[in-house]
Amino acid sequence: MVNTMSKTGQKQKGMTGISIAVLLVLFGFIALIGLKLFPVYMESFKVNSALDSLKKEPGVAKKPAGTIVTLLMKRLDIDDVESVTRQEISIERSTKGVTVYVDYEVEKHLFSNISLLVVFEKTAVIPK
């Protein structure tokens, strides 16, 4: 009987079954997190879009704070943003204009008793 490994000098190459299983679990976990967070970040882009469109509306800096919040909430309702409430929107007036703050959190259930918490702090300065 001849030992072919010592004759050719080659060793086995490749991954074992356990290492393939570990990689599949790792990629599956990353994919699960990505699938859970994708809608959250899409909603964040919609909030940015609503704030940008609010900046472009003429005369909005002269309106009362309640009216500005209502205008923003209407835009968010049209874009189907459910994570932002009126309590998470604040308005601050200064000499430069009006600053609109939208600070909100989104909690997504991952599995079992583990959840993901994503915190967003958006700001738009509307010049006078």
* 76 occurs within a structural domain: yes
Amino acid at 58: P
Q: Which domain holds residue 94?
A: 39-127
* 21 occurs within a structural domain: no
* 112 occurs within a structural domain: yes
CA distances from 11 to 2, 7, 18, 19, 20 (A): 16, 11, 19, 18, 19
How many separate domains does the chain show?
1
Candidates 94, 4, 99, 87; CA nearest to 54 is: 99
For the whole model, what pTM was predicted? 0.79
Query: What are the tens digits of pLDDT across the range 72-127?
Result: 999 999 999 999 999 999 999 988 889 999 999 999 998 889 999 999 999 999 98
* 18 occurs within a structural domain: no
Query: What are the tens digits of pLDDT across the range 3-49?
Result: 555 556 677 777 888 989 999 999 999 999 999 999 999 999 999 99
